[in-house]
Chain A
Amino acid sequence: MEVAQQEVLTAPEQQTAVELSGSAALLEALIVEGVDTIFGYPGGAIMPIYDALYDYKEKLNHILVRHEQGGIHAGQGYARTSGKVGVVFATSGPGATNLVTGLADAQIDSTPLVCITGQVFAHLLGTDAFQETDVINITTPVTKWNYQVTDANEIPEAIAKAFYIASTGRPGPVLIDITKNAQIQKFQYKGYTPCNHIRSYRPKPIVRTQYIEQAAQVINEAKKPFILWGQGVLLGNAEQEFKAFVEKSGIPAAWTIMGVGAIPTDHPQNVGMLGMHGNYGPNVLTNECDVLIAIGMRFDDRVTGRLDKYAKQAKVIHLDIDPAEIDKNVQTHVAVWGDCKETLPLLTKHIEAKQHTEWLEKFNDFTRKENEAVIDAELHPKTGEMTMGEVIDQLNHLTGGDAVIVTDVGQHQMVGCRYAKFNQTRSNITSGGLGTMGFALPAAIGAKFGAQDRTVVAVIGDGGFQMTLQELGTIMQSGVDVKILILNNRFLGMVRQWQELFNERRYSFVDIQSPDFVQVAKGYGIAGQCIKEREELQPALQEMLNHKGSYLLEVFVTKENNVFPMVPQGCSVSEIRLK
């Protein structure tokens, strides 16, 4: 009976008003926006929304997390695999402040989120009421948009704007703070209309063909052109358009860790990873190419190294949807401002079909050198303790490159991104810009909800796992199937690596102790094992993947391995070190 009534309510453009609480109006809005999963944690100031949610359990799957930070990272993981907007609920005060790390992460990695926070009654605002914090001002620097609702009548429009802003243009997190009185307040609900226009907000421009033509001319005249691509290709759902461009142009293409997977790892023109721990060829040849074509990437300092020695010899073409990124770090010769879903096909049309065989071969030469100096030893060590690289390599063999790999932050993240094989897009979920340790476990939970038919493997270090391991409780309760692969080197490895290389091995507080992770998992009813010997690796990974439900596999890897190649901070990309 109630369900029938709700169906009537969700009809958009409904003419006759019905009396509804602000909370119910919020949930109606979520349903029209196509939300199926919410990650959240209740509390005093958001109780009316949770009370309303009790009647919507059939339509909205709410995942009770163990900490609001876990909730928002799960929302991010969900958004990144599904391509939809992640939705997160939290209460006022500490609930809201616990979202801040995730908001900053989503902001810098352009992840679409709508976070709903409860707030104290409007009449208590500014009185230092119980669990009151100034959430709007705290979150302003880390949100694309935020808004405080104090009257239920504002809810439909505020939520509509939130989804529109979060998901369009360069996506990002939006926070809506709703005072408790607005949640309770009954008002005349006239249906929910999604937003598709805000006069002060222009998510993308119309594409000007003159810039496409200019870019095409520069590309057609290039002898040694080089494509760099980032997450913009994924966010624009432009993988096919990108592939067509790459293949017609014949140009070697390298990725940022946010962009990996847009074309498969084994695509012949995919020459590898950019940046500090990227591949040898892409870094060195950045300073040899004559035209640099950057697509949906933002020249992060971890990608460029020292800017005044970055690709100075090259003409730079930059395709981006965000005009603030153009000329921000690297001066462009031709800027193609627009959605790459639209600009790439136009560019493909205007360029000549070519093969850059000799130039591509130069990348392959560097790959051979890198294999000899670094990769062979990392992926196929014959003796000694296991390496992170060989674990990832074995995992590749077993998944075939079809799994979603969620990485945390540190050495294993760089190793994971470097060596994991990806056959399809939206497969590498990592905290790229913010570098948030503790991201992987909750993000993997969300990633699985966003891609239920895919295998999700969270690759995590022993340090990062201990930052959010309470989310094992979320896995236990929700029954979500996440494979947890802990690469334990008994160190905070990346900081240790830097201390070794740059601080004369003064290992300052990187020697981290861990509990028995398998026992911890067991406490949450999650199966697992810990292995230390090479011959156990392949069967243990196989068991993890075959296991019905979540599984924790802890692998002891060598303690003091370093991730190479490496562009030391303050150095040019061409000064990349192999050891």
Chain B
Amino acid sequence: MSNDNTLPEGKQEFNITVYTENQIGLLNRIAIIFTRRKINIDSLNTSPSEIDSIHRFNIVITETEDVVRKLARQIEKQVEVLKVYYHTNADVIWQEMALYKVPADVIAEKVAVERLLRENGARAVVIRKDYVVFETTGHREETDNLIKVLQPFGLIEFVRTARIAIIKDSEGFNRKLREFERREPGEDVIENEYLNQRDKVFTM
């Protein structure tokens, strides 16, 4: 039995979080680690992090954990990458935002649409005479669902952001960064922790 949601054996979505220096060309250096292995990047977001001058990449791919672990190590090997984590969807809080543009007359005339929008947690961002732009934020299924709902009503335009994800059990990057800034790694820097926790976190 197969349907569209069936994934090849062992593959699942992984959220890769990369803390980096803000350096021109680094996006390419990271992206080619995936493209070289013919792995599609499902979603990629770059943003500032909790620390000034440190950037954070959120990358989503669908792969086996073994492949993801190797990719994480290759990414962390790049000179301007400070740290890489990877997590399953269960280990992160994640959101994607979507915008939908629909004709204004449909909204005005069809009560059903208003109800559907409300049920799907959509919010009007812009209301004009000719169209209305709605926004939803949530998981992929939620933003996808509203497309299906609005399609019969003449959905004009749709766009969705990359995924952003917060790691549930992360204490942030401040302490780690202070360790990195030291010239010599001190005894308290857990250098080999990944050797004990190979299946969980890859870390320097």
A interface residue numbers (CB < 8 A to B):
136-137, 140-141, 144-146, 148, 165, 196-202, 205-206, 208, 211, 322-324, 326-328, 335, 337
Contact = CB atoms under 8 A, between A and B. Distances in A.
A206 B187 contact: yes
A165 B194 CA distance: 24
Interface in B166-189: 177, 180-181, 183-185, 187, 189
Of B20, B25, B192, most A-chain CB atoms within 10 Å:
B192
B41 interface: no
B79 A205 contact: no
Given A199-B82, A206-B187, 7 more contacts: A197-B183, A201-B79, A206-B185, A211-B195, A324-B73, A327-B70, A337-B191
B195 A324 contact: no
B25 A136 contact: yes
19 contacts: A136-B25, A137-B25, A137-B28, A140-B28, A140-B32, A148-B24, A199-B82, A200-B180, A201-B80, A202-B204, A205-B192, A205-B204, A206-B191, A208-B195, A323-B204, A324-B70, A324-B73, A324-B74, A327-B198
B21 interface: yes
A197 B77 CA distance: 16
A198 B79 CA distance: 8
Given A140-B28, A200-B180, A324-B70, A337 B77 contact: no
A200 B20 contact: yes
Contacts of B79: 144-145, 165, 198, 200-201
B25 A146 contact: yes
Interface in B62-84: 69-70, 73-74, 76-77, 79-82
Contacts of A205: 185, 191-192, 204
B123 interface: no
A182 B183 CA distance: 31
Interface in B20-45: 20-21, 24-25, 28-29, 32, 36
A241 to B, nearest CB: 20
Interface of B: 20-21, 24-25, 28-29, 32, 36, 69-70, 73-74, 76-77, 79-82, 177, 180-181, 183-185, 187, 189, 191-192, 194-195, 198, 204
Contacts, number: 70
Nearest to B193: A208
Given A205-B204, A211-B195, A200 B81 contact: yes
Contacts of A323: 73, 76-77, 194, 204
Contacts of B198: 327
B74 A200 contact: no
Of A140, A197, A200, most B-chain CB atoms within 10 Å:
A200
Nearest to B192: A208
B25 A141 contact: no
A140 B195 CA distance: 29
Contacts of B36: 141
Contacts of B194: 323
Contacts of B82: 199-200
Contacts of A196: 183
A75 B189 CA distance: 37
Contacts of A144: 79
A140 B191 CA distance: 28
Contacts of B191: 205-206, 208, 337
A324 B77 contact: yes
Contacts of B76: 323-324
Given A206-B185, A208-B191, A324-B77, A200 B21 contact: yes
Nearest to B32: A141
B70 A199 contact: no
Contacts of B183: 196-197
A203 to B, nearest CB: 10
B23 to A, nearest CB: 8
A202 B185 contact: yes
Of A137, A198, A327, most B-chain CB atoms within 10 Å:
A327
A308 to B, nearest CB: 14
Contacts of B189: 206
A141 B31 CA distance: 10
A199 B181 contact: yes
A339 to B, nearest CB: 13
A137 B35 CA distance: 14
Contacts of B28: 137, 140
A322 B204 CA distance: 11
Contacts of A199: 82, 177, 180-181
A337 to B, nearest CB: 6
Nearest to A328: B70
A217 to B, nearest CB: 15
A208 B193 CA distance: 10
B150 to A, nearest CB: 40
B136 to A, nearest CB: 37
Contacts of B73: 323-324, 328
Contacts of A148: 24-25
Contacts of B29: 140
Contacts of B185: 202, 205-206
Contact of A202 (B180, B187, B192): B180
A201 to B, nearest CB: 5
Contacts of A322: 77
A324 B33 CA distance: 13
Nearest to A197: B183
A577 B135 CA distance: 66
The 3 closest A-B pairs by CB, nearest first: A324-B73, A205-B191, A199-B180
B195 A337 contact: yes
A327 B69 CA distance: 10
A197 B73 CA distance: 21
Contacts of B204: 202, 205, 323
A144 B74 CA distance: 11
Contacts of A208: 191-192, 195
A471 to B, nearest CB: 31
Contacts of A206: 184-185, 187, 189, 191
